[in-house]
Amino acid sequence: MSIAVRSVHAALWLPALAIVSALVAQQLAPAQSQTDASPAPYRMQAGDAVEIRFFYNPELNETTQIRPDGRVSLQLVGQVELAGKSVEEASATLESLYANEVRTPKVTIQLRGFAAQKVYVTGEVMHPGVMAMPGRLTVIEAINEAGGIKHTGSSSVAVLISKRADGLPEGHRLHLYEHGTLTADAGKVLSPFDVVLIPESRIARLDRWVDQTIRQLIPVNTSAGFTYLITKQGSSSIPIF
């Protein structure tokens, strides 16, 4: 093959090879980014037991528990807020505070115990109440742990109440199923002390209204003319739920 022919072949194949390489890299990039993704660091909270150790000042070492106000009492620096911080952030905070007290404030923090992680499931579930949260727990898993949804509960909608950064509650409407398939809302991971509420279904609300408004408020001896409301289903044009 002549040099001219080889040059023509190279001119045709090199751009094609570059395009294929770019496409392969584009396909591999998302997979690599997903693999490299790491979970968010744990943030300490009230009730956690922490061991604070100083490399060069062991006399300041302490093992303490974070109080309900999110703080701990430490030698030399007094009250320090640790709740809401990761271990790395808390270590940096203490090193900054002790910089004026010791020559080399190298600090390490180890978690020795975790506060009770709990969520609350209420409303139209079989066993409402507080449940332990030993690890990762989704909305649908919490509902199932509570025995599932009653026949009077809505099988498609739930309400999630979470605590905002300022400590106030915030509610979110969740859609559990769409076309018979679990949604992303159902797989939402709960945070400690979240509340999952299963509301009544529309039919259950109508049934309760009928019971309170008609069956209980209308005395039997004055119900003449209203018997069509309390007849068996099928014998009246108005269904009794």
pLDDT digits (tens, 9 = 90+) for 93-133: 999 999 999 999 999 999 988 887 889 999 999 999 988 88
Given 2.60.40.10, 3.40.50.300, 3.20.20.210, 3.30.1950.10, which CATH number is that of 49-113? 3.30.1950.10
- In this prediction, residue 106 carries a pLDDT of 94
Query: What is d(CA 195, CA 192) in angstroms, rounded to the nearest whole number?
Result: 9
- Residue 35 banded pLDDT, cuts 50, 70, 90: very low
- In this prediction, residue 102 carries a pLDDT of 92
Fold for 118-200, please state it.
Outer membrane lipoprotein wza fold like (3.10.560)
- In this prediction, residue 217 carries a pLDDT of 58
Higher pLDDT pick, 94 / 136: 94
pLDDT per residue over 160-192, tens digit each? 998 877 778 888 999 998 888 999 999 999 988
Query: What is d(CA 205, CA 216) in angstroms, rounded to the nearest whole number?
Result: 16
- Residue 56 banded pLDDT, cuts 50, 70, 90: very high
Q: Is the pLDDT of residue 50 over 80?
A: yes
**Domain boundaries in the chain?**
49-113, 118-200, 202-241
- Residue 201 banded pLDDT, cuts 50, 70, 90: confident
Higher pLDDT pick, 14 / 111: 111
- In this prediction, residue 55 carries a pLDDT of 94
- In this prediction, residue 216 carries a pLDDT of 60
